[in-house]
Amino acid sequence: MCGIIGYIGERKACNVIVDGLKRLEYRGYDSVGVVTEADGKLHIKKGAGKIDELKEKLSLLEMPGKRGIGHTRWATHGIPNDVNAHPHTDCSGEIAIVHNGIIENYLELKEELLQKGHKFKSDTDTEVIAHLIEDALKDFKNFEDALRYALLRLKGSFALGIIYTRDKEHLYFVRNESPLVLGIGDGEMFAASDIPAFLPYTNKVVFLDDGEYAVVTKNSFVVKDLKTGKIKDKKVHEISWTLEMAEKQGFPHFMLKEIHEQPKAIKEAIYGNAEVIDQVAREIANYEKIFIVAMGTSYHAAIVGKYLFQRLTKKAPVVEDASEFRYEFEDLVDENTLVIAITQSGETADTLAAIRLAKKRGAKVLSIVNVVGSMATRISDLVLYTHAGPEIGVAATKTYTTQLTVLTMLAIALARHLKTVDEEYLRELEAQLYEMPKYVEVALGYENKIKALAEELKEKRDFFYIGRSVSLATALEGALKLKEISYIHAEGLSAGELKHGPLALIEDGVPVVAVAPSGKTFDKMMSNIQEAKARGALIISLGDNEELEKVSDIVIKMPKVNEVLSPIVYIVPLQLLAYHLAVLRGNDPDKPRNLAKSVTVE
């Protein structure tokens, strides 16, 4: 959704900012801007386009000054063009702002400021903030007081970086419903939407909470409450992410690197949760009314979670898209409810809203999150981390398979506690889960075959992904991966649904990807595949059963694993297929058009 970064210290600010923006580009990449201060003047360079193009074109690395802020944009208000790119300034040109979020009452504030004679240059909601602070400076001598007064008038979500020429020692950062982290260096300070932005310089971080702002000098920081102005006691966390984890390491794209990191990430997820999972299972064991809420890929993990719970714990959770949950289920949530929220970023606005609603209604909330210290982790009762490390590619890959790993561990621990399934069966399942990194390696070994397949399929217009039972989630996720990075139309659906309508769309040569592990519904899948085949579909099946050879044009032979574990390994070839199709079609898979990594607006 937009990334912001700020720096104050002894280095050339533009170098740190441009480098950081590159790492934040996954959050938005339609425009870029940097402002630095030198000799009491703001130096601003900004424009529409990606950072690599603009770095040269605007000479971003030749800006003077040792303090500054920067922005990479994903447009919400105002089309992506040079004028709407951040930073935005007030009339005097002394205050500059970068913003991630949406100001909901900006029209009414703009109207008021226009009447007072303020001149606006852009169509953005952000510019209002600069003018609002300028206006407040008429009544308050102290910049910080003016800032607080102005910011308290804003409604909506915002993470802000603010620089004021006359306040030479400081930078200001504010958080309300959009992520913001301070980086604590030695004689230098950083702030950014996400940790990888400043990871080359420090791993000491302070997470701001909603309604807090930070006043930062090169040697110090103080965090205060926006409403009261009172100082807050903040903990400095040392995070274990390394720079290496946030770099491509020779892979052409982050997405490919992250696909290949899955064996290691799954291992980390297993070992990272081994000691805590029983305790968490115990704390949720008595809940009968369970909702699992999430968006996008995390929602597909939720679907797998539902099947795991049904089969292993004999509980039937309701899986709901978080954006729907908050409007449709409010009355059904009470203190006897458990809400499991799944979110990679821990900052997805819809998922956070669902968590808040659940908390308000007295429910217990367990979040499964990747980003340590993110908002979801701070407002939930219980947290399980996926331990996947930073995921930079916009399309979720390793965070999905680690979500599935954690959900499997949770369902096993719960089943053990509730004695709903034979201990022997659970032990076998657990042993296979521990082997998952090895099976995922096998699936990664098919990359060349899949690349060749992508070459064959690259001109296709429509794809169908079908699956039954737990493999429905794999079909949905495979289709989502394809849509978002290759821009090919794809539908994921339950194989049983095919003949209730979608079969009408199958004609000669249309690819149907059948996710068909051995298990409860394999025979039914075979019939569904044949129905599609009879209408001319090109059948690409994934499975471990020889029978598939008889009905498929192409079989991707998968390792034999328990059906409930199959989503972890079966998604891998589909991630690779989407990746290679995207590359062959000339797309940048790390930065799909119109999308951003964390969706911090509803």
Catalytic residues, by residue number, are: 2, 597
Q: Binding of ligand F6R at residue 349 (CB under 6 A)?
A: no
**The only residue of 2, 189, 197, 396 in contact with ligand F6R, by rule CB under 6 A:** 396
Contact 444, 572 (CB under 8 A): yes
Asked if 345 is part of the footprint of ligand F6R (rule: CB under 6 A), the reply reads yes
Q: Which is nearer to ligand F6R, 90 or 391 (CB)?
A: 391
The edge-to-edge listing of strands for the beta sheet with 31-38 is 41-48, 31-38, 67-73, 3-8, 189-192, 181-184, 204-207, 237-238
Contact 204, 221 (CB under 8 A): no
- 522 vs 570 by CB, closer to ligand F6R: 570
> Where do the DSSP E strands lie in 226-321?
237-238, 289-294, 318-321
Q: Cβ 235 to ligand F6R, closest distance in Å? A: 24
Task: Record the tokens describing residue 147, joined without a space.
Answer: 């800032």
The strand pairing partners of 214, in sequence order, are: 173, 223
Q: Which residue is nearest to ligand F6R (CB)?
A: 296
Give me the phi and psi of 375, to 5 degrees please.
Answer: -55, -45
Q: For ligand F6R, which residue of 297, 313, 486, 566 counts as binding (CB under 6 A)?
A: 297
Which x/- pattern over 248-287 shows residues binding ligand F6R (rule: CB under 6 A)? Answer: ----------------------------------------
Q: How many residues bind ligand F6R (CB under 6 A)?
A: 15
Concatenated DSSP letters for 317-351? PEEEEHHHHHHHSGGG--TTEEEEEEESSS--HHH
**Contact between 351 and ligand F6R (CB under 6 A)?**
yes
Does the protein bind ligand F6R through residue 513 (CB under 6 A)?
Answer: no
Residues paired with residue 489 on neighbouring β-strands, in sequence order: 462
Q: Which of 212, 447, 484, 544 binds ligand F6R (CB under 6 A)?
A: 484
Q: What are the residues facing 221 on neighbouring strands?
A: 216
DSSP string computed for 166-208:
T-TT-EEEEEEBS--EEEE-SS-EEEESSGGGGTTT--EEEEP
Q: Which helix (H) or strand (E) holds 248?
A: none
590 near ligand F6R, judged by CB under 6 A: no
Query: In the bound complex, what is the minimum distance in angstroms from residue 299's beta carbon to ligand F6R?
Result: 7
The answer to whether 486 contacts ligand F6R (rule: CB under 6 A) is no
- Does 188 contact ligand F6R by CB under 6 A? no
Q: Which is nearer to ligand F6R, 34 or 596 (CB)?
A: 596
Token pair for residue 149?
Answer: 């007064």
Least CB distance to ligand F6R at residue 158 (A): 19
Task: Decide whether 34 or 180 has the Cβ nearer to ligand F6R.
Answer: 180
Instruction: Name the minimum Å distance from CB 159 to ligand F6R.
Output: 16
* 122 contacts 84 by C-beta, under 8 angstroms: yes
Report if residue 575 touches ligand F6R, rule: CB under 6 A. Answer: no
- Residue 298 binds ligand F6R, judged by CB under 6 A: yes
If one counts every other C-beta atom within 10 angstroms of the C-beta of residue 234, the result is 16
- Count of Cβ atoms closer than 10 Å to residue 57 Cβ: 11
Site for ligand F6R in 421-480 (CB under 6 A): 480
Figure out which of the listed residues 157, 343, 552, 600 binds ligand F6R, where binding follows CB under 6 A: 343
Nearer to ligand F6R, 553 or 602 (CB): 602
What's the token pair of residue 21? 């923006």
The C-alpha torsion from 333 through 334 and 340 to 344, rounded to 10°, is: 70
**CB count in 10 Å sphere of residue 273:** 22
* Interacting span for ligand F6R (CB under 6 A) from 16-24, 97-105, 279-287, 344-352: 344-352
Angle at 13 between CA 12 and CA 19, to 5 degrees: 100
| Dihedral (CA of 261, 274, 208, 239) sign | negative
For ligand F6R, which is the closer residue by CB, 106 or 207?
Answer: 207
Does residue 72 interact with ligand F6R by CB under 6 A?
no
Q: Specify the stretch interacting with ligand F6R by CB under 6 A; choose among 17-25, 34-42, 293-301, 414-422.
A: 293-301
Q: Under the criterion CB under 6 A, does residue 323 sit at the interface with ligand F6R?
A: no
Helix orientation angle between 566-584 and 471-486, rounded to the nearest 10 degrees: 20
Binding region for ligand F6R (CB under 6 A) = 295-298, 343-345, 348, 351, 395-396, 480, 484, 598-599
